[in-house]
């Protein structure tokens, strides 16, 4: 080929290379910028562990961490200043029993709607969850991995999500939403639409359980959720039923432990709870029908209780006088006893809401938290929803999606912060109106909501 043609070809290839590289450069330049430093001045701190506010303090956030807390004014050139004027600075709230995919849609929609639609609705509700001051949730059942990835990438707004992925159940168990016409299922094959989508997963042998657990861990689960007993919303699971055998439960916990994390189980009755504890499960969800002996066993074994002050309105998701409605009444009736036993035996107790199938009820997430003052002081309530819940999240170990301390206002902790009008330790009602009383919401050092 003549020299001048070679030169033209080389020039053309170079131009093509530039054009190919341009989108890559554009992507790199569009990556999220590091949040500017923020200086909170003259704030009283609720630190997530102590039952009183500090005297006035000054708090410097650099990047996504709390870098300094000082009793004397701080100099921070270039930092944006937020004048506290004596307001309360506290950690972002944590809900450790949340269902991002199901919180805001009616049960009929959750069972049948297009998955793209459900993800869009879940993203909208996640933004509202964050604006209610919940900067972290532990999602204990649902196909949430895509939503979590979008939030972490800055493509959607929402809380940090500790995902379980599909809740793993047995045939006919809590989480099996099939009709009789869907039977029989070949062992090892998907059981339903929800199995395929990733909201629930059916497993009926220890080997199947291991497969399902490992699938969720492969997808990025920070902990595993099994349904060890009957449930309210599922059509084929009476409350008194015990689901998994002890070898099946142990297979799940062993597989999770191999990955440095843990299993938590949905369980209401003493039988379901006791079997899970014998299998080495470290955390029980609900325990709404437990008895004194079971609570004592939980104390002696150091088992976590993740329970909820379930509001009666939850039953409105189901047709009146239906089997599901009646099961809900039985579960709600156990709430008083559950908290009494938790206090009697000083169980390691975490807070969650378990809101399902109601956008209106999801909007009352803060009210559900405040309702804990039926059993606890405002300070005990808020410690549970911040520092204590954060301790439960540490069970995920290296499977935690987020490196750093959550739930506290301490030097070096992640900067998930709320600037609150008033003193929530003396008047818990201030947290029930986040639109008015949460003047600043910060997640990971970034202002989600700020002073004008």
CA–CA separation, 331 vs 314, rounded Å? Answer: 11
pLDDT, mean of residues 55-69? 98
Give the three-class secondary structure for 284.
Answer: strand
Beta-sheet pairing, 438-443 with 446-449: antiparallel
CA–CA separation, 235 vs 176, rounded Å? Answer: 8
b/e map 342-376, b = 16+ CB within 10 Å: beebebbbbbbbbbbbbeebbbbbbbbbbbbbebb
Q: In the chain, what percentage of residues exceed pLDDT 90?
A: 82
CA–CA separation, 93 vs 372, rounded Å? Answer: 14
452 confidence band (pLDDT: 50, 70, 90): low
**Predicted confidence (pLDDT) per residue in 109-162, tens digit:** 988 899 999 999 999 999 999 999 999 999 999 999 999 999 999 999 999 999
427: Cα separation from own chain's centroid: 26
198 confidence band (pLDDT: 50, 70, 90): confident
Cα-only R_g, the chain: 24
Q: Which domains does the chain have, with CATH numbers?
A: 38-92+409-449 (2.30.40.10), 107-375 (3.20.20.140)
> End-to-end distance of the chain based on CA atoms, in angstroms?
67
Q: What is 153-187 written as a DSSP string?
A: TTSS---EEEE--SEEE-TTSTT----GGGPPPPT
pLDDT computed for residue 85 by the predictor: 96
CA–CA separation, 402 vs 159, rounded Å? Answer: 12
When comparing pLDDT for 106 and 179, which is higher? 106
**Predicted confidence (pLDDT) per residue in 200-223, tens digit:** 999 999 999 999 999 999 999 999
pLDDT, mean of residues 395-423? 98
CA–CA separation, 235 vs 246, rounded Å? Answer: 24
234: Cα separation from own chain's centroid: 21
* pTM of the shown model: 0.91
CB 365 within 8 A of CB 159: no
pLDDT computed for residue 218 by the predictor: 98
Min mean pLDDT across 31-45, 171-185, 428-442 is at 31-45
**Predicted confidence (pLDDT) per residue in 260-277, tens digit:** 999 999 999 999 999 999
Beta-sheet pairing, 438-443 with 417-420: antiparallel
CB 284 within 8 A of CB 306: yes
Q: Which of 324, 282, 333, 279 is nearest to 305 (CA)?
A: 282
CA–CA separation, 133 vs 128, rounded Å? Answer: 9
Q: At what angle do helices 323-333 and 335-344 cross, to 10 degrees?
A: 30
Min mean pLDDT across 49-63, 97-111, 184-198, 243-257 is at 184-198
Beta-sheet pairing, 57-62 with 38-45: antiparallel
pLDDT, mean of residues 362-385? 98
Question: What are the backbone angles phi and psi of residue 284, rounded to the nearest 5°?
Answer: -115, 130
pLDDT, mean of residues 329-338? 96
CB 302 within 8 A of CB 348: yes
- pLDDT score of 444 more than 60: yes
At which residue do the structure tokens 């959720």 appear?
225
**Predicted confidence (pLDDT) per residue in 5-54, tens digit:** 444 344 443 343 433 333 333 333 333 455 689 999 999 999 999 999 99
Give the three-class secondary structure for 29.
Answer: helix
């Amino acid at each position: 080929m003549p020299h001048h043609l070679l030169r033209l070809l080389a020039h053309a290839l170079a131009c093509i290379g530039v054009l190919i590289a341009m989108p890559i450069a554009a992507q790199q330049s569009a990556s999220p910028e590091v949040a500017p430093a923020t200086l909170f001045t003259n704030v009283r701190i609720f630190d997530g562990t102590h039952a009183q506010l500090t005297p006035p303090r000054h708090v410097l956030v650099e990047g996504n961490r709390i870098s300094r807390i000082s009793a004397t004014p701080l100099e921070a050139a270039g930092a944006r200043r937020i004048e506290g004027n004596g307001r309360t600075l506290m950690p972002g709230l944590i809900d450790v029993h949340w269902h991002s995919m199901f919180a805001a849609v009616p049960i009929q929609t959750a069972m049948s709607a297009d998955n793209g639609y459900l993800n869009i609705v879940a993203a909208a509700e996640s933004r509202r969850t964050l604006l209610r001051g919940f900067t972290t949730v532990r999602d204990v059942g649902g196909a949430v991995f895509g939503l979590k990835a979008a939030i972490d990438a800055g493509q959607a707004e929402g809380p940090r999500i500790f995902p379980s992925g599909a809740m793993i159940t047995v045939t006919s168990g809590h989480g099996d939403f099939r009709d009789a016409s869907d039977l029989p299922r070949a062992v090892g094959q998907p059981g339903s639409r929800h199995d395929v989508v990733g909201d629930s997963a059916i497993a009926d042998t220890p080997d199947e359980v291991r497969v399902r657990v490992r699938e969720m861990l492969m997808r990025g689960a920070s902990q595993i959720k099994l349904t060890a007993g009957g449930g309210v919303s599922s059509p084929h699971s009476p409350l008194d039923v015990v689901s998994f055998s002890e070898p099946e439960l142990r297979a799940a916990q062993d597989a999770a432990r191999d990955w440095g994390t843990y299993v938590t189980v949905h369980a209401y009755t003493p039988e379901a709870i006791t079997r899970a504890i014998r299998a080495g499960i470290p955390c029980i969800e609900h325990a709404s029908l437990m008895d004194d002996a079971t609570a004592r066993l939980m104390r002696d074994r150091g088992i976590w209780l993740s329970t909820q002050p379930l509001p009666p309105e939850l039953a409105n998701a189901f047709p009146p006088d239906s089997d599901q409605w009646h099961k809900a009444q039985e579960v709600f009736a156990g709430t008083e006893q559950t908290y009494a036993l938790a206090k009697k035996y000083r169980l390691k107790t975490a807070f969650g809401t378990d809101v399902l199938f109601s956008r209106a009820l999801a909007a009352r997430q803060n009210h559900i938290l405040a309702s804990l003052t039926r059993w606890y002081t405002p300070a005990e309530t808020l410690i549970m929803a911040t520092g204590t819940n954060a301790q439960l999240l540490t069970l995920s170990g290296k499977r935690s999606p987020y490196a750093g301390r959550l739930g506290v206002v301490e030097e070096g902790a992640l900067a998930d912060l709320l600037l609150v009008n008033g003193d929530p330790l003396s008047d818990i009602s201030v947290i029930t109106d986040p639109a008015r009383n949460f003047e600043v919401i910060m997640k990971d050092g970034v202002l989600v909501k700020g002073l004008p």
